[in-house]
Amino acid sequence: MDEMELHACGTLSDRKSHHSEATKKNLVTRLNRVEGQIRGIKGLIEKDVYCDDIITQISATQSALNSVAKLLLEGHLKSCVVERIQEGDEEIVDELLTTIQRLMKK
């Protein structure tokens, strides 16, 4: 077994997540719902629906997408971040801080 196979989270050049099938299904279901919400918003705009109603739908869609991000972040913390810290790779902390800063800009 080479070093690439030993690191479930991967190195910078081959990074991959390792979510369970149930988690992937949950994330895809949520994203499909968000995709439907986006199509719905587009339809509301095309039908000249009252702006405040459209903004409400946009807010709900952003909330749903944030929920997906939170689930991904939780999984990342519990797996990749923990593993890399246990391996002595403290660079993951800077990566994590950058990720959190990106999420908080929204």
pLDDT average, residue stretch 82-91: 94
Residue 15: is its pLDDT beyond 80?
no
Of the candidates 73, 92, 72, 97, the residue with the CA atom closest to the CA atom of residue 82: 92
Can you give the pLDDT at residue 17?
73
- Domain extents in the chain: 19-104
The span from the CA of 32 to the CA of 40, in Å, is 12
Tokens of 14: 């081959």
* Overall pTM surpassing 0.75 (yes/no): yes
Which CATH number is 19-104 given? 1.20.58.1000
- For 99, residues 6+ apart whose C-beta sits below 8 A from its C-beta are 73, 76
Q: What confidence score (pLDDT) does residue 1 get?
A: 32
